[in-house]
């Protein structure tokens, strides 16, 4: 049974859309003003390495909607073509800058429901999508740090937090546990109705994890080239440690749910870890540059998917 089309009236959709973009603009402005612009002004990066980082960043972003689409299909829905699905994802991805991460998942539900996909399925698959991102990020980080032999450089508290987070997330996404929790949540929010459609399966989980492993591996090239742009003396042998440290910092920053996109948490962890391979000033500059780079690539991701959406077909509902 499909969600009722009157779940949001036309006026309600307009108000919700304006609220989403208003919150996003406000917190993005807060996010940017909180950055150390004096440090950015004193940077003199090698732009050749920034150009090398760009395809790694954008390719990783563009793969993410493919993973989410697969989850939506597993739940019996027919997602729109990639051009539309990626734009839904890119708009929602910007919601990470709103504290609480609710806008990140809520954006997928709100914008995705315009394409006749069930809101319950959009919500469930968005939670799974986020969980797999974190699990695969920690997996790749553990492997890279083991390969580099630099796992001992992680402070004990960070190791404990990372391992605890990995175990908790993995158990939560085990199909029997997740499906049972989803049924309970469905009954609570749907007033006793039984859920319909497919359930999370081991096969679907594995397929999505494979896509995100590729995303995480691609993403490890970004911090290495950004740091190399600031500190040319960085050796190629530091690649595994830099990639692993960045993934650990990013994951723990994401788990800090009330920090806009992990603001402050990620940078603090990065600086502590990167000081093992570069001077302190270079580590500080790198953390600031990575944050600014992330914002720029997120906006580029949004712009790229908006262009694809417009070329593919007339947009559904609000073009934004």
pLDDT computed for residue 198 by the predictor: 65
The model's pTM: 0.84
Q: pLDDT digit string (tens) for 285-310? A: 898 899 889 999 999 999 999 999 98
246 vs 198, residue with greater confidence? 246
Domain boundaries, the chain: 57-312
Would you state the structure tokens that stand for residue 153, as one six-digit string? 């450089």
Q: Is the pLDDT of residue 209 over 80?
A: yes
Which of 81-90, 178-187, 198-207, 282-291 holds the top average pLDDT? Answer: 81-90
3 vs 281, residue with greater confidence? 281
pLDDT computed for residue 143 by the predictor: 93
* Cα-Cα-Cα-Cα dihedral sign, residues 191, 196, 198, 201: positive
Q: pLDDT digit string (tens) for 60-115? A: 999 999 999 999 999 889 999 999 999 999 999 988 888 767 888 888 998 998 89
Distance separating alpha carbons of residues 298 and 281, to the nearest angstrom: 26
């Amino acid at each position: 049974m499909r969600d009722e089309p009157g779940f949001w009236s036309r006026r309600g959709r307009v108000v919700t859309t304006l609220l989403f973009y208003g919150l996003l603009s406000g917190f993005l402005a807060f996010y940017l003003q909180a950055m150390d612009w004096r440090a950015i002004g004193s940077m003199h990066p090698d732009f050749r390495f920034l150009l090398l980082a760009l395809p790694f960043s954008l390719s990783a972003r563009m793969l993410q909607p493919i993973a989410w689409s697969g989850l939506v299909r597993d739940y019996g829905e027919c997602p729109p073509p990639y051009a539309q699905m990626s734009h839904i994802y890119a708009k929602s991805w910007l919601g990470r800058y709103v504290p609480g991460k609710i806008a990140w998942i809520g954006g997928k539900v709100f914008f995705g429901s315009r394409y006749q996909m069930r809101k319950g399925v959009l919500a469930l698959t968005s939670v799974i999508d986020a969980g797999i991102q974190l699990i695969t990020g920690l997996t790749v980080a553990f492997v890279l740090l083991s390969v580099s032999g630099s796992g001992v450089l992680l402070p004990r508290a960070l190791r404990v937090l990372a391992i605890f987070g990995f175990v908790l997330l993995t158990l939560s996404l085990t199909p029997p546990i997740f499906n049972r929790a989803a049924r309970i949540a469905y009954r609570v929010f749907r007033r006793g109705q039984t859920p319909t459609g497919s359930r999370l399966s081991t096969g679907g989980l594995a397929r999505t994890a494979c896509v995100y492993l590729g995303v995480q591996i691609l993403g490890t090239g970004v911090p290495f080239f950004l740091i190399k742009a600031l500190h040319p003396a960085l050796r190629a042998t530091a690649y595994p440690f830099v990639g692993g440290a960045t993934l650990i910092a990013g994951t723990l920053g994401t788990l800090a749910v009330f920090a806009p996109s992990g603001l402050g948490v990620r940078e603090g962890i990065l600086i502590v870890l990167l000081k093992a391979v570069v001077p302190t000033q270079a580590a500080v500059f790198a953390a600031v540059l990575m944050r600014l780079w992330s914002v720029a690539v997120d906006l580029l991701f949004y712009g790229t998917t908006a262009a694809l959406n417009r070329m593919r077909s007339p947009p559904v509902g609000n073009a934004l």
